[in-house]
């Protein structure tokens, strides 16, 4: 692993919970092997490009890292209905790429979410897209592209680390919304993990009070990270009933903080 920077950002308004203050620990890692990244996933880190991050908030522990136990996951009647509803969708799994179709769909999705969910404005530039989804992840980054006929209608990003999958991000055509594309995409990626006999699928952070983040707990059985451990601590994951009585403590204060 080659790490260029590790900092905790200064407190700022939280993007997910109005009225709260948030800080993220950021690590800039241009080179990493999949085993090291797998270990970082167990410690609550996520990845966009060469940026690896996790919550480091003081006074709040409502962002919970969540992972699905893939061998024990079962497709319910509702999930089977979603799969049937999308049986006309073709799935292509490949290395991430950027085309005009990708960028136009990405921009449409964000414009829709700005109106529908009051998301902040997103510039949708090709450079920003490439930095988030094309940089880093050599050897383990995957794009899950969804097509209806020849039309790209959705795109998910998946990190494949050998015994686990990390579901990174998903955007889709607003015209596809009535067919539950988000559920379909997660089910598709869980099937990918199950076919490879993976133990876990990481869904990022679960925030019960946030509409865009609360849905993740419906995928069961799942586990929650009890706290974000320091470098000399082992991560501990637990069933939701056990985790409910335990707050997620922030990681210890680091020497190189952003002032």
Cα distance between residue 83 and residue 52, in whole Å: 32
Structure tokens at 96: 């991430």
- Record the pTM: 0.90
Please tell me the predicted confidence (pLDDT) of residue 55. 95
Cα distance between residue 217 and residue 115, in whole Å: 25
CA-to-CA separations, 203 to 5, 81, 100, in angstroms, rounded: 25, 22, 28
Please tell me the predicted confidence (pLDDT) of residue 252. 39
Domain residues for 47? 5-243
- Count of structural domains, the chain: 1
Average pLDDT, the chain: 90
Among residues of the chain, what percentage have pLDDT more than 90? 77
Give me the residues of the chain with pLDDT under 50, please: 248-259
255 within a domain of the structure (yes/no): no
Structure tokens at 210: 């946030």
257 within a domain of the structure (yes/no): no
CA-to-CA separations, 252 to 13, 52, 186, 228, 257, in angstroms, rounded: 21, 17, 33, 9, 11
118 within a domain of the structure (yes/no): yes
pLDDT tens profile 196-221: 999 999 999 999 888 888 999 999 99
CA-to-CA separations, 253 to 53, 60, 247, in angstroms, rounded: 15, 15, 17
Structure tokens at 49: 């490009």
CATH number, domain with residue 128? 3.40.630.30
pLDDT tens profile 75-101: 999 999 999 999 999 999 999 999 999
């Amino acid at each position: 692993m080659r790490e260029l920077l590790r900092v905790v950002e200064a407190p700022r308004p939280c993007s997910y919970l109005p009225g709260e203050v948030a800080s993220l620990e950021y690590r800039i890692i241009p080179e990493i092997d999949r085993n090291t990244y797998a270990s970082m996933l167990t410690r609550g880190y996520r990845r966009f490009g060469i940026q690896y991050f996790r919550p480091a908030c003081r006074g709040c522990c409502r962002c919970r890292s969540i992972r699905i136990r893939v061998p024990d996951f079962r497709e319910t009647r509702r999930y089977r209905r979603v799969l049937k509803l999308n049986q006309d969708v073709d799935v292509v799994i490949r290395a991430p790429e950027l085309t005009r179709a990708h960028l136009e769909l990405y921009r449409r999705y964000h414009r829709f979410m700005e109106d529908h969910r009051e998301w902040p404005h997103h510039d949708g530039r090709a450079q920003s897209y490439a930095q988030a989804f094309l940089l880093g992840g050599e050897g383990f980054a995957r794009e899950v592209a969804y097509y209806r006929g020849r039309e790209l209608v959705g795109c998910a990003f998946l990190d494949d680390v050998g015994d686990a999958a990390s579901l990174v991000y998903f955007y889709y055509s607003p015209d596809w919304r009535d067919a539950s594309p988000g559920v379909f995409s997660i089910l598709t990626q869980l099937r990918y993990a199950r076919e490879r006999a993976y133990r876990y699928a990481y869904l990022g952070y679960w925030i019960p009070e946030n509409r865009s983040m609360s849905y993740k707990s419906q995928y069961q059985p799942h586990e929650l990270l009890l706290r974000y451990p320091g470098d000399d601590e082992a991560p501990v994951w637990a069933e939701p009933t056990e985790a409910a009585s335990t707050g997620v403590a922030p990681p210890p204060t680091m020497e190189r903080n952003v002032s």
